[in-house]
Amino acid sequence: MIIEMNNIEKHFEGLEVLKDISFGVDSGEVVSIIGPSGSGKSTLLRCATFLEKIDGGEIIYMGQKAAHTDEQGNAVYVPHHEMGKFRGYCGLVFQQFNLFPHYSILKNITDAPIHVQGRSRDEAEATAMELLGKMGIADKADAYPYQLSGGQQQRVAIARALAMKPEILFFDEPTSALDPELTGEVLKVIRQLAEEKMTMVVVTHEMPFAKAVSNRVLFMDGGVIVEQGDPREVFENPKEERTRQFLRVFEQ
């Protein structure tokens, strides 16, 4: 298991957003998360990547506890100086890319490896160029984010996350901010990563993509995982009425 999240609880000012959620991801697995707006998909990813603190449950990366719940029922995280290790295990690709506008494409990708992980500039740049090549935008290394299309920016964001050599990469609706004609190029890159056995969790509304690429689909609604399983099963033969309803609305 790369990550295990057990009995995760999260609320915002009284609103329960994650209710006792448990799930794990194996090495090389690609998991898609689908579900209606407000079901807690982003919150789950943000808890997994430590952008939000859980209120209960435990988060385990590579068999090591990053957070657990003590006897008093409070979520306790490892001390600050150990957090870096856990942050290094995971990467997150945002819906809005969130590239650093004042850095060139190359610097967007090399800055954290150099200044956070202490890699050498040569190594970081070699890795970055290789990743840009894989993303099909090696010629953009010296450009700035504003000069790129949304699809290209998102591919840079993926390269930036991969440059940290994470064990698992989370995507929060990576194509939702893109024009329809640009989603394909980003999905293609994710598909390619899946073929290379990169461990990934993708929140998406692209059902055909989820069906084709993931090993497992997870349907969330109201802060719980309603149903999960093989994508063909979940899409073609959903067990739960709520899943059926959601998929039906989606097909229209």
Partner 1 sequence: MTFSTMLSTMADGMLKTGAIFFLTLIGSLPLGMIVALLRKSRFTLVRGIISVYISIMRGTPLMLQLLVWYFGPYYLFGMNIGNWRFPALIVGFVLNYAAYFAEIYRGGIESIPVGQYEAAEVLGYTKTQTFMRIILPQVMKIIMPSITNEVITLVKDTSLAFTLAYQEVFSLAKQISASQTSFMPFVIAGVFYFVANYVVEIAMNRIEKSMDYYK
Ligand X SMILES: Nc1ncnc2c1ncn2[C@@H]1O[C@H](COP(=O)(O)OP(=O)(O)OP(=O)(O)O)[C@@H](O)[C@H]1O
Residues that bind partner 1 (CB under 8 A): 49-51, 84, 87-88, 90-92, 94, 96, 98-102, 111-112, 115-117, 144-146, 160-161, 164
Q: How far apart are CA 194 and CA 225, in angstroms?
A: 23
- Cβ neighbours, 10 Å, residue 236: 10
Bridge partner list, 33 = 203, 218
- Kindly write out the interface string for residues 114-153 of this chain, putting x where it contacts ligand X by CB under 6 A and - elsewhere: ----------------------------------------
* Shortest Å distance, C-beta 176 to Mg ion: 8
- Residue 169 contacts residue 193 (beta carbons within 8 Å): yes
Binding partner of 250, given ligand X, Mg ion, partner 1, none, CB within 5-8 angstroms per partner class:
none
Interface with ligand X (CB under 6 A), residue total: 10
* Shortest Å distance, C-beta 226 to Mg ion: 17
DSSP, collapsed to helix, strand or coil, labels residue 191 as helix
107 or 216: CB nearest partner 1:
107
Q: Which residue carries 């600050």 as its tokens?
A: 80
CA distances from 139 to 108, 185, 186, 237 (A): 15, 16, 17, 45
* Shortest Å distance, C-beta 40 to ligand X: 4
DSSP E strands in 26-167: the ranges are: 30-34, 56-61, 64-69, 75-77, 90-93
* Shortest Å distance, C-beta 169 to partner 1: 11
Binding partner of 40, given Mg ion, partner 1, ligand X, none, CB within 5-8 angstroms per partner class:
ligand X
Which residues, including other chains, have CB under 8 Å from residue 199's CB and lie 6 or more apart? 2, 25, 26, 27, 28, 29, 30, 167, 168, 169
Determine which residue in the list 41, 140, 155, 160 makes contact with ligand X, applying CB under 6 A. 41
Determine which residue in the list 32, 42, 127, 199 makes contact with Mg ion, applying CB under 5 A. 42
* Shortest Å distance, C-beta 176 to ligand X: 8
Binding to ligand X by residue 243, rule CB under 6 A? no
Binding to ligand X by residue 37, rule CB under 6 A? yes
User: Token digits for 21?
Assistant: 């959620």
State the Cα angle at 191 between 187 and 193, rounded to 5°. 120
110 or 214: CB nearest ligand X:
214
Q: Which spans of this chain sit near Mg ion (rule: CB under 5 A)?
A: 42
Q: Which spans of this chain sit near ligand X (rule: CB under 6 A)?
A: 12, 17, 35, 37-43
